[in-house]
Structure 1
Amino acid sequence: MSELSKSGDSGIWKKALLTVPAIVIAGSLMGYLSNSGFGNAWYDPLQKPSFQPPGWAFGAVWTTLYTMMGIALATILNEPRSKHRSTGLVLFFIQLGLNFLWSPVFFGAGAIDWAFLIILAMNVLVTMTIIAFWKVRPLAGALLIPYLAWLCLATVLNHETGRLNPGADRAPLGLTGA
């Protein structure tokens, strides 16, 4: 049986009609409410890492990643209940909560070090989620790999923004810049 024809896959798309918009809208709303990205009076004057993608890329990438996350979630929700499914869902929702928290902490509060701790935790949790999802349905785990790759870049950007802008952190912990 092929990966695409397991366990009544038509149910995935019905579930995705709920999970994809919910995640895309919630993620976009968090970014909007925290004034994330360019146009933010605190963030705009900061020195950016030379390898930072252009501003327009962030909206396009996050919309794509949130869509893939929603499909991965729908895929797992479509599978029978199991220990791995339950573990994967718990991990998914914890990392998603941290994802939604990151923009208000970084852009809203200007807390670069706290945001760095959050994104480090996200990297660990997304890795664990990929493993848990993979055990239930490899496709669902694979859909999260681009997200992890983007998080790795975002982690370096977060750190480098702190390093390049000593004194800019409104709640410094001494992790990225003093």
Structure 2
Amino acid sequence: MTRHLALPLFLLVSVGGGALIGLSVETGGWYAALQKPGFNPPDWVFAPVWGTLYILIGLAGWRIWRAGIAPAQRLWWLQLALNFVWPPVFFAAHALGAAMIVILALDAAVVAFLAATWRAERVSALLFLPYLAWVAYASLLNAALWWLN
């Protein structure tokens, strides 16, 4: 794969994959009926946050691919797979407990990616910091929703 083709492909995989997952799960009726904690954000927040994060994720994936850091590459693909698995488990299967397990694994994968890139590819690690913050918040939200419902 050429260097110039790689960046658009990484962005397509992360942004396009995230959009496809988002469009494939129905979040309306069931989710709207759940009891929510006071820190639940309004629905309109999710799309711009995830859109921005998927761009950052794609950029980080491209950078570690370009740097040839194999362990970080494996962790990048693992976190993306877990990220794409969570919405169907949560929204389609309505399995709040199973979704909690998936998102905790996602938290661990993101932290492992940060550890693997912090010294070798600091920019990629920094690109993942907002993602870590959002996934940690989403984990707390998942736990609260599971507890309340």
Q: Deviation at 1:74?
A: 0.9
Q: For residue 89 of structure 2, what is the amino acid of its counterpart?
A: V
Q: For residue 47 of structure 1, what is the amino acid of its counterpart?
A: Q
| Mapping 1:35-46, distance limit 5 Å | 35-36=26-27, 39=28, 41-46=29-34
Report the equivalent of 1:171. none
Q: Deviation at 1:125?
A: 0.8
Report how many residues are paired: 147
Q: Which runs of 5+ in 1 are unaligned?
A: 1-10, 166-178
Q: Which has the higher contact order (CA 8 A, sep 6+)?
A: 2
Report the equivalent of 2:114. 130
Residues in 2 aligned to 1:53 and 1:92: alpha-carbon distance in whole angstroms? 27
Q: 1:61 aligns with which of 11, 24, 49?
A: 49
| Mapping 1:1-178, distance limit 5 Å | 11=3, 14-36=5-27, 39=28, 41-79=29-67, 81=68, 85-165=69-149
Q: Which of structures 1 and 2 has the bigger CA Rg?
A: 1
Q: Is the CA contact 1:34–1:104 (under 8 Å) kept in the aligned structure 2? A: yes
Task: Please give the TM-score of this superposition, normalised by the length of structure 1.
Answer: 0.79
Q: Which runs of 5+ in 2 are unaligned?
A: none
SS at match of 1:115: helix
Residues 121-162 of structure 1: CA deviation (Å, up to 9, x unaligned): 111110000111223210011100100000010001001011
Higher helix share: 2
Q: For residue 99 of structure 2, what is the amino acid of its counterpart?
A: A
Residues 10-47 of structure 1: CA deviation (Å, up to 9, x unaligned): x4x653222112211111111211223xx2x2211111
Task: Please give the TM-score of this superposition, normalised by the length of structure 2.
Answer: 0.93
Identity of aligned residues (%): 38
